[in-house]
């Protein structure tokens, strides 16, 4: 009883202090950017506090705490909101649905482990990779809620290893041999491990994509319909602060159609071999500030999206007004990425004072014919890159397709009509880039029918095996940019 009272008092004091200092904290974003970014207030949560253990929860790593989370949140909602404090321990649970005016606060030492039992995650209508699809309910989710937060120093673990396929070439022989002991199935060539037969059947019909034959039984292929770990859809006034998010079944965090989102001081981790193991995918959101966070993931780390092809154009939601600063990426396919799902448009983004170490690509812009959408007014400043596997900066408008240079006829480009399906990239600016080690410094591969336009590079230094390659781009300028000590002129 004494420990129960002490935890409650301390948590209430800490949270009350936090609330008093949080208001108007985002005002500093205004006036310091090359575009107009509105200011917004962080969530204001009532001071009321409950402990998860008040609802019969056990942090023993074995007990099912799904009902305890739901009851605690419902209790706070009925009282107008407040803080749900999760003490140190290992808290096994099914999905958690966030509600308005709630703060889910994980104390240091608290590990929330999402149960991999698929029966807990019904298949729902959702949106993934820019398309309206059906996939499993996310472990941590909210739709249409506002004024809520996820805070603390604890960990959310998505038990992703129970959901994902594994490619043999991406793991050590010891890891692979241990994996085989867990059961599952191998591909015909023996180079891919699938968690079950349904997953393998879905993968064979989907090819390299994540959209299986719709005639397949959803329940049979449920593992293949693995969820993103955190899904907030059409929510407003959100704070995510301090926690670690790791081992997700698919993407880690996916805010979709959200507004006024502040993310600061989080850590996002996925194994390097995790399929679709993105860090955060900010998808068709407005007014987002991501600061002081670190990523070490299996796919793109910080990714900006706005829908794919016809579905994305029909929704017509632009991803705009983003500030990303003081972040570090240790591993990922790209440090900062736009696309390839950008059919709704992307605009007004500042990325500054970030460090990428060992990523496949540093700054990555990708799309393809059929997407449509306009990407413009993006600034990348003071980006420090080390040991980049391929490109320091890349624009590839033939993502997952054939490059224009390989489609020429008699030395002329294979032109397509310019229409709503033609992606457009323009007015994107880079300054203060430092890249120590890459296969190639800069690669720009635009579309012949609508070249990338007005790409500026200034005051940047690259050390790379290859320099600059540009195809189908107009208005590309270099001002005090060197590759291996040689000044670039264009």
Q: Which residue did the predictor score with more confidence, 404 or 394?
A: 394
With bands split at pLDDT 50, 70 and 90, how would you rate the model's confidence at 32?
Answer: confident
Q: Above 70 in pLDDT, residue 7?
A: no
With bands split at pLDDT 50, 70 and 90, how would you rate the model's confidence at 359?
Answer: very high
Q: Above 90 in pLDDT, residue 478?
A: yes
DSSP state of 18: H
Q: What's the pLDDT at 405?
A: 52
Token code pair at residue 134: 């059906």
- Closest-CA residue to 455 (of 286, 353, 338): 338
Residue 473 CA to residue 333 CA, distance in Å, equals: 24
Residue 299: strand, helix, or coil: coil
Residue 15 CA to residue 30 CA, distance in Å, equals: 26
Give the pLDDT confidence of 399-440 residue by residue, as tens digits. Answer: 876 554 555 544 566 889 999 999 999 999 999 999 999 999
Residue 452 CA to residue 85 CA, distance in Å, equals: 49
Average pLDDT over residues 323-333: 97
Residue 395 CA to residue 444 CA, distance in Å, equals: 5
φ, ψ for residue 471, nearest 5 deg: -140, 125
307 in Cβ contact with 344 (< 8 Å)? yes
Residue 439 CA to residue 468 CA, distance in Å, equals: 11
Q: What's the pLDDT at 489?
A: 83
- Closest-CA residue to 441 (of 361, 366, 340): 361
Q: Above 90 in pLDDT, residue 3?
A: no
Give the pLDDT confidence of 56-101 residue by residue, as tens digits. Answer: 999 999 999 999 999 999 999 999 999 999 999 999 999 999 999 9
Residue 205 CA to residue 151 CA, distance in Å, equals: 41
Residue 160 CA to residue 165 CA, distance in Å, equals: 10
Q: Above 60 in pLDDT, residue 18?
A: no
- Closest-CA residue to 66 (of 139, 124, 157): 139
Q: Above 50 in pLDDT, residue 387?
A: yes
Q: Residue 399's Cα: distance from chain center in Å? A: 19
- Closest-CA residue to 428 (of 447, 391, 453): 453
Residue 15 CA to residue 10 CA, distance in Å, equals: 9
DSSP assignments along 346-388, one per residue = EEEEEEEEEEEES-SEEEEEE--TT---EEEEEEEEEEEEES-
How many CA atoms are closer than 13 Å to the CA of 148, on its beta-carbon side?
A: 27
Mean pLDDT, the chain, as a whole number? 93
Q: Above 60 in pLDDT, residue 362?
A: yes
Partners of 427 in beta bridges? none
pTM, to two decimals? 0.94
Token code pair at residue 472: 């189908």
Average pLDDT over residues 436-458: 98
Give the pLDDT confidence of 153-170 residue by residue, as tens digits. Answer: 999 999 999 999 999 999
In order of their start, the domains of the chain are 165-225 (no CATH), 300-490 (2.160.20.10)
Largest CA distance in the chain: 83
**Which of 11-20, 51-60, 222-231, 259-268 comes out lowest in average pLDDT?**
11-20
209 in Cβ contact with 217 (< 8 Å)? no
What is the Cα gyration radius of the chain? 23
Q: Residue 314's Cα: distance from chain center in Å? A: 22
Q: How many residues does the chain have?
A: 490
Within 8 A by CB and 6+ apart from 211, the residues are 131, 133
Residue 427: strand, helix, or coil: strand
Q: Above 90 in pLDDT, residue 27?
A: no
Token code pair at residue 107: 């104390």
What are the b/e assignments for 257-293, b being 16+ CB within 10 Å? Answer: bbbbbbbbebbbbbbebbbbbbbbbbbbbbbbbbbeb
Angle at the Cα of 288 from the Cα atoms of 285 and 294, rounded to 5 degrees: 115
DSSP state of 34: S
DSSP state of 88: S
Average pLDDT over residues 280-297: 98
Distance between first and last Cα of the chain: 72
**Which of 19-33, 150-164, 171-185, 349-363 comes out lowest in average pLDDT?**
19-33
What are the b/e assignments for 429-448, b being 16+ CB within 10 Å? Answer: bbbebbbebbebbbbbbbbb
């Amino acid at each position: 009883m004494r420990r129960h009272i002490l935890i409650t008092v301390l948590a209430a004091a800490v949270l009350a202090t936090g609330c008093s200092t949080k208001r108007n904290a985002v005002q500093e974003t205004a006036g310091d950017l090359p575009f107009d970014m509105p200011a917004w207030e962080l969530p204001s949560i009532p001071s009321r506090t409950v402990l998860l253990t008040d609802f019969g929860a056990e942090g023993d790593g074995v007990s099912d705490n799904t009902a305890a989370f739901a009851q605690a949140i419902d209790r706070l909602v009925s009282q107008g909101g407040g803080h749900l404090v999760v003490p140190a321990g290992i808290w096994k649970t099914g999905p958690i649905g966030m509600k308005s005016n709630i703060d889910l606060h994980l104390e240091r030492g608290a590990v929330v482990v999402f149960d991999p039992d698929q029966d807990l995650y019904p298949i729902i209508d959702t949106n993934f990779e820019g398309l309206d699809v059906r996939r499993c309910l996310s472990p941590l989710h909210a739709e249409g809620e506002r004024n809520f937060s996820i805070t603390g120093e604890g960990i959310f673990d998505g038990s992703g290893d129970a959901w994902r396929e594994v490619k043999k070439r991406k793991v050590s022989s010891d890891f692979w041999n241990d994996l085989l002991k867990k059961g599952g199935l191998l591909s015909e060539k023996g180079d891919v491990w699938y968690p079950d037969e349904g997953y393998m059947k879905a993968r064979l019909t989907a090819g390299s994509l994540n959209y299986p034959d719709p005639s397949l039984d959803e329940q049979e292929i449920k593992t293949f319909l693995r969820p993103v770990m955190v899904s907030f859809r059409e929510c407003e006034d959100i704070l995510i602060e301090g926690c670690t998010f790791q081992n997700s079944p698919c993407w880690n965090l996916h805010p979709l159609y959200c507004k006024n989102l502040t993310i600061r001081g989080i850590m996002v981790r996925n194994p390097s071999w995790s399929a679709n193991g993105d860090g955060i995918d900010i998808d068709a959101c407005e007014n987002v500030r991501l600061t002081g966070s670190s990523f070490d993931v299996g796919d793109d780390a910080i990714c900006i999206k706005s829908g794919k092809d016809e579905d994305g154009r029909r929704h017509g939601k632009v991803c705009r007004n983003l500030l990303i600063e003081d972040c570090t990426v240790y591993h990922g396919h790209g440090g900062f990425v736009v696309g390839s799902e950008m059919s709704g448009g992307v605009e007004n983004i500042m990325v500054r004072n970030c460090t990428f170490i060992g990523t496949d690509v540093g700054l990555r812009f990708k799309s393809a014919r059929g997407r449509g959408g306009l990407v413009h007014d993006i600034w990348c400043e003071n980006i420090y890159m080390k040991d980049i596997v391929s490109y320091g900066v890349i624009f590839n408008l033939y993502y997952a397709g054939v490059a224009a240079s390989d489609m020429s006829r008699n030395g002329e480009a294979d032109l397509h009509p310019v229409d709503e399906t033609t992606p457009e990239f323009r007015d994107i600016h880079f300054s203060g880039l430092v890249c120590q080690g890459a296969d190639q410094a800069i690669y720009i591969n635009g579309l012949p029918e609508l070249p990338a336009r007005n790409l500026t590079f200034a005051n940047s230094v690259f050390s790379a095996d290859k320099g600059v390659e540009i195809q189908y781009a107009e208005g590309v300028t270099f001002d005090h940019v060197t590759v291996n000590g040689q000044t670039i002129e264009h």
